[in-house]
Structures are given as C-alpha cells and as structure tokens.
Amino acid sequence: MGSLLIDQEGGRSMRYSDDIIEEVRMKNDIVDVVSQYVKLNKRGSTYFGLCPFHNEKTPSFSVTPAKQMYYCFGCGAGGNVFNFVITLKMLLDLIFAHS
C-alpha cells in the first residue's frame, strides 16, 4: 500500500508509467465495465451475454473475471477491459457517424 500513497506536499505523485495501466486494470473489474453495456448471466466462473460486436440471438460472448478477459465464440473478438472499451467506443463512433 505504501507505494500508492499520494504525496501530500506536491499534491499528486507523478507515477505515470506502466504501473498506472495495471492500477486502472485492477480498479476496473471487467465484469463491472462490460455489464454496463451487455446483460451478463453467470454460468460457473464465467459470464455470458449477447456479443456487442456482432449480431446474435444466443449468447456466445464470454467474460472470465479470473483472467479479466473477454472472448466471443461467435466472432472471435477478445481482450482485456481496455480492448473492450476502446473497441466498443470505436464501434459507437462509427454507428453515430453514419446515422
């Protein structure tokens, strides 16, 4: 915990490195993030839902909290919480750009 203490004198510590990526990843559970966009159902240790990246009627989009990864068995989309947000944002930008 010591390394995460914010420097009281300087206001904020300047720890802009790969650590910050890891920190964001740790503080943003992939299930919390994905479930804001996709309705997830728990099955064992994995969550399943309808893939936001392709059209489907049966859920083949899986989220594994233990690995903090997602994977779609239908279209092959997969990655971590960052990939999910970035890909979804690109997709939404594309949709709104054409509507």
CB of 96 to Zn ion, least distance (A): 20
Q: How far apart are CA 8 and CA 72, in angstroms?
A: 45
Q: Where does this chain touch Zn ion (CB under 5 A) — which range of 3-11, 21-29, 72-80, 84-92?
A: 72-80
CB of 76 to Zn ion, least distance (A): 7
- The verdict on 54 binding Zn ion (CB under 5 A) reads yes
Q: Where does this chain touch Zn ion (CB under 5 A) — which range of 24-32, 33-41, 46-54, 80-88?
A: 46-54
DSSP state of 4: G
- Counting other chains too, the contacts that 57-63 makes at CB distance below 8 Å and 24 or more residues apart are 63/30, 63/31, 63/34
Backbone angles phi, psi at 82, to 5 degrees: -65, -50
Instruction: Give the tokens for residue 60.
Output: 């083949």
Of the pair 15, 89, the CB lying nearest Zn ion is at: 89
Residues of this chain that interact with Zn ion (CB under 5 A) are 51, 53-54, 72, 74-75, 77
